[in-house]
Structures are given as structure tokens and as C-alpha cells.
Amino acid sequence: MAFLEVKDIYKSFGKTEVLKGVSFELEEGQVLSIIGSSGNGKTTLLRCLNYLEFADSGTVTLDGNVVSDGKILKTLKESQIRENRLHFGLVFQSFNLFPQYTALQNVNLALSLMEKERAKKGMPPLYDKPSMEVAKELLIKVGLEDKMGLYPCQLSGGQCQRVAIARAMALKPKVLCFDEPTSALDPELTGEVLRVIKELKESEGITMIIVTHEMGFAKSVSDQVLFMVDGVVEELGSPEQVFDNPKSEKLQAFLQGLSVKEGK
Amino acid sequence: MGEFVDVSLRLLEGFSSSVIIFVFTLIFAIPLGLLIAFCSMSKFAPLRIVSRTIVWVLRGTPLMLQIFVIFYLPGLLKLFVWPAMNTGWAWFDKTISTRLIAALVAFSINYAAYFSEIFRGGIEGVPKGQMEAGEVLGMTKTQIFFKVILMQVIKRIIPPMSNEIITLIKDTSLANVISVLELIFWAQTFMLEGLIWPIFYAGAFYLIFVGALTIFFNWVEKKLSYYKV
């Protein structure tokens, strides 16, 4: 049984069916990239995993436990959803840092609240050191040791996104999701963010799902690549398979379109 | 000189009534406005509709009319509807402060309606992503509101709130219509005696007060300028 099993996820908004039975599996420590044109349900899939949207049906199994089941999802209590949600982290396209807090406070806020709550409930802490220390270490890890006291409005887009990554890491999610982490960035800033994600893979071995339009990055960082069209998995395989040896015609056309754009 | 001192004392007395209305209206209207704002955003449709209807009525009719209604309605009710209540009201009617209380009630609910719309706009204006970021970090709805959303709302609503609050000090002169002894009431009294200048003098009171408010709100805005929303 795989570490993460996503099975038959369906999701509609009104009459529009966005996800039409998405399934995939991912082993622990592996990185899955999801590629495809905009409007094909990639973001919705991530949002379903993070309970920002409730899937209409389908199951998500993590480490042998069913963490999401479309049938009972809407009947779950707020507290249960919160608990399940903590297995996943999400880095947004638009960072969504809290503007009134410094970089350090942004990383520390949710973690310190969580540690307090755990202490109150008699649960062991997530870390054996103060949350502020953890936050500092995470910011050093993403290369922002000299920016800890700055506010989001004083940081560049790339720096903001690195803070957001540190913030998501702080809660120790089992699966970290990235929703087009570089799409809102100027081209010269995407490199630093992609480098951080790559380093996290190598040093932390964290399981990641990355929705991205950066094909070169997807190719180099992924263990698996998933090509999504119109709410279904069109092709799924190793980066070599998907990029160098695409089977589906739609994928061939998609990759062709990209290389034309890049002038190759 | 004696005349100036006399006028000054009277106007100061009137101005103190104005400031009382101003302060207590803020104390009551801000929490009440927040409550109305949450009702207006409720997912429970009947509550939302009732709340928005109340806001519509309070913003849709003149404040002066509301002052009249609140001051005279209890009296009219007891005359025509509940004559039996006559006895119990006698002590209450004799005190001048019923006028002030009626004015306070009218100002509080009227301003609560305006404030509620400012609060609603401020809360709804915070990008959805802020809420979502808090949610995926495992924060509770309450934590998200108090730790993340609130400070952003405060920053957003300061300019429209300062506008309303500046309007409020000048609107206190409307309490005049039910003979609350506020600033304009006294200025008018002197005018009826043939003294014109106290009305300009009264204007200076408002001007100075508004000047102080303006400086205060500029200071608050500056204090909060370290982040952008």
C-alpha cells in the first residue's frame, strides 16, 4: 500500500464538473508534479486535499488511514476537519502571508498556537524546543536569516514565497502541496524558490505535490509527473516517460505547444 | 468681558453635553455595529435579511426623525396604548436626562447601522486567501479572526471610520430638536437674545475638536503604516 493514495476524486461546482475521478499514488519522500493547462482542475485537486474544497466523492488514504472520504466529508465536525487537514500543508500561488506580522512571526504564529493547544490537551509537543527557535531555523533553511524581522511588504516576491514555505513546513505536514509556487513571481525570482523546494526534497525528504508550469523544474525534481486534462489523469509516469516519451496525443500536443512558445 | 465669560461658560456646558453624546454613542455603537455586521454576513438567511432591513431603515430615514420617534414614541404609547402605565412613568418624565437618554439611544442605533456597513466592508475586503492560509495552518476560526483578520480590518476601516466619527460630533447638534442642552442650543439661545457672535464661537468648538480628531486619526494611520493590506 502506497503512502498516499488518492482514489476517484470527484468535484463539481454547480453544474461544472471540475474533477472527474482523479486517482494516483505516491510513496513517502517522493515528489509528484502535476502539469497541464490552466482550468483543468489542478488547483482544485490540491484544494480538495487540503479541505479548502470538499470533494463530492472519492477517498484519500494517508499512511493506511482514510483521511478524507467524499461520502462523509460534509458531515464531519470542524475539529475533525482541522485534525485531518494538518496532515497536509499548502503553499499558495499568491503566498498569502499575514501582512501585519514579520517573516518570523508569520512562521511562528500557527506553530505557537498549536504547541499551546497540544500542551493544554496533554499531547506531546511537535518539537522539543520553543516554537520561536523552530521558526528561526526554518527561515535559515530557506535562506532568510537576515530578513526575519521584515514585514511581507518589505520582501520581494521570491522572499515572500520562501517565508510561506517555511511557514507551511513548521506544522510538520506529512505531505506538502505547492500551488503554482512561482506563477506570481518575476522570472528572475523563480529560481530561488525552486532551489529551496529542491533542497527541501534532498535534505528533509518530505513528500511533495507540486502544481507547476515550470517544465524543466518538474523534470528535475519529480519522481512522478501527472498530466491532467479536463479533470482526469491523462498520463502518469516518471519524468523521463512523460517528457521524453509521451504516449497520449494530448500530452504530446501540450509539450509541443510549450516548446514552440520557448522557441525551440 | 463679563459677557464673554458668560457665553464661554454656557457654550462649554453645552459642549460637554455634545461630548457626552459623542463618547457614549461611540461606546455603544461600535460593539452594536460589530454585532449587526456579523448578522448581516450570517449564512442564516432570516437573520441576514432582518439585519439588512434594519440597516436599510436606519440609514434610509433622517437621524432627526429617529430622534423624534425614540423620544416621543414611548410617551405616545403610554397615552394611547397602555394608559395603565401612566403612573410608573411619572418620575422618569420629570428628569431632564430622559431627553439625553433618548438622544443617546437614537444616535447609538443610527451610528451602529453605519458602522456595521463599514465593518462588513472591512471584513469582506480581507482577501479570502488570508482565511485559507490560516485554515491550512490548522488555526481555528476564532484564532484566524483575532490573530489574522482583525488587524487587517482595523487598518482598512480607519479612513471611513474617521469620517463617520467626525460627522458624529457635528451630528450631536441634532439633539437640539428634543431640547437637549447641547452646544447649538446655547448658541441659539444667545442668538435669540440678539448676540450673533456666539454662533461663530460655537463653530470654533467643533473645529478644534475635529482638528484634534484629525490629528489623532493621522497618528493611528501612521502607527499602522508598517504593513500594507
A-interface mutation test, from B137, B143, B144, B158, most A Cβ less than 10 A away: B137
Least confident of A86-90, A249-253, B79-83: B79-83
> Could you report the per-residue pLDDT of B34-93, keeping only the tens digit for each?
999 999 999 999 999 999 999 999 999 999 999 999 988 877 766 666 555 555 555 555
| Contact across the interface for A100 and B134, Cβ inside 8 Å | no
pLDDT category at A72 given cuts 50, 70, 90 is confident
Contact A49, A3 (CB under 8 A): no
Residues of A with CB under 8 A from a CB of B: 50-52, 78, 82, 85-86, 88-90, 92, 94, 96-101, 109-110, 113-114, 151-153, 167-168, 171
| Residue with the larger pLDDT of the pair B181 and B113 | B113
pLDDT category at A135 given cuts 50, 70, 90 is very high
Q: Taking 80 as the threshold, does the pLDDT of residue A235 lie above it?
A: yes
Contact B137, A167 (CB under 8 A): yes
The pLDDT, as a whole number, for residue B72 is 87
What are the angstrom distances between the C-alpha of B187 and each of A222, B15, B16, B192? 80, 10, 14, 9
| Contact across the interface for A96 and B226, Cβ inside 8 Å | no
Other CB atoms within 10 A of residue B99 CB: 17
Contact A49, A14 (CB under 8 A): no
Q: Write B145-150 long-range contacts (CB < 8 A, 24+).
A: B147/A109, B147/A113, B148/A98, B148/A109, B149/B123
Q: Tell me the ipTM for this assembly.
A: 0.90
B-interface mutation test, from A100, A102, A138, most B Cβ less than 10 A away: A100
Record the pTM: 0.85
The pLDDT, as a whole number, for residue B78 is 65
B24 part of a folded domain:
yes
> Could you report the per-residue pLDDT of A149-206, keeping only the tens digit for each?
999 999 999 999 999 999 999 999 999 999 999 998 988 889 999 999 999 898 888 9
**Distance in angstroms (rounded) separating the CA atoms of residues A19 and A40:** 8
| Contact across the interface for B130 and A96, Cβ inside 8 Å | yes
Give the minimum alpha-carbon distance from A256 to chain B in angstroms, rounded to a whole number: 34
The pLDDT, as a whole number, for residue A75 is 81
Q: Taking 70 as the threshold, does the pLDDT of residue A263 lie above it?
A: no
The pLDDT, as a whole number, for residue B211 is 97
3-state secondary structure of A29: coil
Contact A231, A19 (CB under 8 A): yes
The pLDDT, as a whole number, for residue B92 is 54
The pLDDT, as a whole number, for residue B99 is 85
Give the minimum alpha-carbon distance from B148 to chain A in angstroms, rounded to a whole number: 7
Residues of B in contact with A99 (CB under 8 A): 152, 227-229
List the single residue in B139, B152, B226 with the smallest CB-CB distance to A110: B139
Which helix (H) or strand (E) is A66 found in, with range? strand A65-69
Contact B202, B184 (CB under 8 A): yes
| Contact across the interface for A114 and B141, Cβ inside 8 Å | no
In total, how many domains does chain B have?
Answer: 1
Q: Taking 60 as the threshold, does the pLDDT of residue B131 lie above it?
A: yes
Beta-bridged to residue A7, according to DSSP, are A59
Which helix (H) or strand (E) is A244 found in, with range? none
| Contact across the interface for A86 and B138, Cβ inside 8 Å | yes
Give the minimum alpha-carbon distance from A249 to chain B in angstroms, rounded to a whole number: 36
Report, as an integer, the average pLDDT of A26-32: 94
Closest Cα partner for A110 from B144, B131, B142?
B144
- Does the beta carbon of B80 lie under 8 angstroms from any beta carbon of chain A? no
Sign of the C-alpha dihedral, residues B174, B176, B178, B181?
Answer: positive
| Contact across the interface for B147 and A113, Cβ inside 8 Å | yes
Q: What angle do CA A53, A55, A61 make, to 5 degrees?
A: 110
B63 part of a folded domain:
yes
Which helix (H) or strand (E) is B89 found in, with range? helix B86-94
Where are chain A's structural domains?
97-173
pLDDT category at A238 given cuts 50, 70, 90 is very high
| Contact across the interface for A52 and B132, Cβ inside 8 Å | yes
Contact B179, B172 (CB under 8 A): no
The pLDDT, as a whole number, for residue A41 is 92
The pLDDT, as a whole number, for residue B84 is 56
Share the mean pLDDT of chain B.
91
Q: What angle do CA B222, B225, B229 make, to 5 degrees?
A: 140
Name the residue of chain B whose CA is nearest to A53's CA.
B132
The pLDDT, as a whole number, for residue A204 is 87
CB contact set of B90 (below 8 Å; sequence gap of 6+): none
B86 part of a folded domain:
yes
Which helix (H) or strand (E) is A241 found in, with range? none
Which helix (H) or strand (E) is B120 found in, with range? helix B97-124
Residue B76 structural domain: 17-179
- Does the beta carbon of B46 lie under 8 angstroms from any beta carbon of chain A? no
Share the mean pLDDT of chain A.
92
Least confident of A158-167, A220-229, A252-261, B155-164: A252-261
B204 part of a folded domain:
no
| Contact across the interface for A97 and B133, Cβ inside 8 Å | yes
Residues of B in contact with A82 (CB under 8 A): 138, 140
Burial of A106 (0-12, 13-18, 19+ CB in 10 A): buried
Residues of B in contact with A171 (CB under 8 A): 137-138
The pLDDT, as a whole number, for residue B223 is 93
Q: For residue A180, what is its C-alpha cell?
A: 503554482
Give the minimum alpha-carbon distance from A85 to chain B in angstroms, rounded to a whole number: 7
Name the residue of chain B whose CA is nearest to A155's CA.
B227
CATH of the domain at B132: 1.10.3720.10
List the single residue in B129, B147, B226 with the smallest CB-CB distance to A109: B147
